[in-house]
Structure 1
């Protein structure tokens, strides 16, 4: 079954370019085009695509408004094309908050240094989002609505236990007092998932948090600022030499690597350039592996929505030290890649819907008090 795509952009040249790139993949079929947001809404309802690629700045109706209309009427994965500027970051985050699933730079040379690799990334991203949608549609399960913080979070519960828990015959008990740090790794769908989790935490949350989200360098300052505005805890982009503080979440800077080091008995952040061979910048594995020798079993690691398997090897090293690991469940993921890789390796202690992760973290404070 081919992934059916609607391409939306006010530039006819760019539309033709995207159509040619996508149609070169036998698993993708472009079924329509639109030149503005209003046309996109009409075509989305008429053609019922599996994926929509969407520009942000367009006449008549912009891409963000179009995403809101589409999500309200017929939710479908939307891949935004964004400029790598501060203004582009703000607009892209608005689009993700409106319900878009993911984004890519509009300049293909910003996706990857090699042109052919950039085209492969675009096709792979469209296929992954589309197959997730067709699977959901085949299962007759509604696409998850625009992720927003629930007015009244559901009571925390442990979902179906993964392999590691099944072998032990129980899901490990959760007590916040057993930990000294919380790690969260995310990719596709991560900005909204992180917002859901972090907004559930109170200002007096007693542990520091390290966040690793696959994101360009121009986006992470704006994303950290947005989270800081929305959350009761403090959130900011990590800086070299930062110490850890209760209720402070440090976001790995885009395009670089964030690691934790122990200096004179104190844990400090080191932000460093990435190895050219490292695919993810920042990389969940790199950050998580650096925490293992510092906090070991006193670490709570959480892997949420995202493509690929980044985080699995970092989690494996943490598990060897006795750390506890949670993964987001498939139903609430935009892409069940990273959490699946961890769960399938038997490394997950709890599998939870995204709405319950923050709630459970906050509930652990009762035992911590």
Structure 2
């Protein structure tokens, strides 16, 4: 279902979908009220949604859908520019992804962005509270591993500290998952480092929002920040986050570098650094997300003696990253999202279960 008040946008998106094998346009609507009326007869698998529309705005419609009947929604809007508060609000409300369209030359843009829109539709179609399989997409190009930034742990490295640390990695659906976890943690929880796949400029706003609704302090990581109990440091969009240690104290290292697993920041980079410098004093958690970033790093953490957790399929928006970690034997525990906060608290209090 395409919901957009622009006839040009509806026509161009519909044309791209019609030309894609295995996809069909179930309907179009110029506003959410009309869309709801038409969707009663045949509910769509994926909705492409504008934001600025008459009678009901797209964000209100998105929140209504997620509360009443969760459905994969791709935001395609000129007011949801990359890094904007509107785009972050859409992701937080449950949008699968956001595609920013220009205010001018719309038809040319949509023709050029057709492949991205089709790829987003195919990925969204297997998301949101369904038995999920990894999206059927063209074979990915060769990708760099964490070796590009940090070497693997060696047997001689010591982890002589009792200070505990928690590393979280997530991607698609992670904005909601992280909020569900971080807002349920007490200020006594061990220091937390987070990689959420996000573009630059998103992460500072995202951290500010989580900080406002959490008992712990949440902010974007800066180079040489101490990793402290009761605090979560989120990797800045467009930069890698690693953990290093000076004596018994952990600190953040924020660096530029190549894409790892086609991501910057990369979960694998963070997890490898935690395996190397924290070892058995660490807890690694991999949550909802497409692809396999973090699966290898979580296995390295487990091999180093860390406690490891993967989010289960039923509660993951996309079961790619946690599913791959489980397949590789990296997950010591597989938990639904609602059980992860308590596991973090238990680990912080000294339990390894």
What TM-score bracket applies, with the shorter chain setting the length? 0.7 to 0.9
Pick the aligned partner of 1:307 from 283, 290, 296: 290
CA contact (8 A) 1:261 1:290 kept: yes
**How big is the alpha-carbon RMSD for the aligned residues of Structure 1 and Structure 2?**
2.7
Question: Aligned pairs, how many?
Answer: 314
Alignment-derived partner of residue 231 in structure 2:
248
TM-score relative to the length of structure 1 = 0.77
Q: How far, CA to CA, are the matches of 1:233 and 1:91 in structure 2?
A: 25
TM-score relative to the length of structure 2 = 0.80
Alignment-derived partner of residue 48 in structure 2:
53
Alignment of structure 1 residues 98-177 onto 2, 5 Å: 98-106=93-101, 119-132=114-127
Alignment-derived partner of residue 356 in structure 1:
339
Alignment of structure 1 residues 172-211 onto 2, 5 Å: 180-205=164-189, 207-211=190-194
Q: Is the counterpart of residue 216 in structure 1 residue 199 in structure 2? A: yes
Q: How far, CA to CA, are the matches of 2:53 and 2:226 in structure 1?
A: 43
Q: How far, CA to CA, are the matches of 1:226 and 1:256 in structure 2?
A: 20
Q: How far is the alpha carbon of 1:260 from its aligned partner?
A: 1.9
Structure 1 residues 121 and 261: CA distance shift in structure 2, 3 A? farther
CA contact (8 A) 2:81 2:87 kept: no
Instruction: Could you tell me which runs of 5 or more consecutive residues in structure 1 were left unpaired when the two chains were aligned.
Output: 1-5, 108-114, 138-176
Q: Is the counterpart of residue 234 in structure 1 residue 217 in structure 2? A: yes
Q: How far, CA to CA, are the matches of 1:216 and 1:117 in structure 2?
A: 21
* Partner-residue secondary structure (3-state), 2:48: strand
Alignment-derived partner of residue 73 in structure 2:
78
After TM superposition, the structure 1 stretch with the greater mean CA deviation from structure 2, 190-199 or 353-362, is: 353-362
Q: How far, CA to CA, are the matches of 1:99 and 1:307 in structure 2?
A: 15
Q: Deviations over 1:273-307 (max 9, x none)?
A: 23157511211111111222111121111000111
* Partner-residue secondary structure (3-state), 2:322: helix
Alignment-derived partner of residue 166 in structure 1:
none
Q: How far, CA to CA, are the matches of 1:120 and 1:271 in structure 2?
A: 33
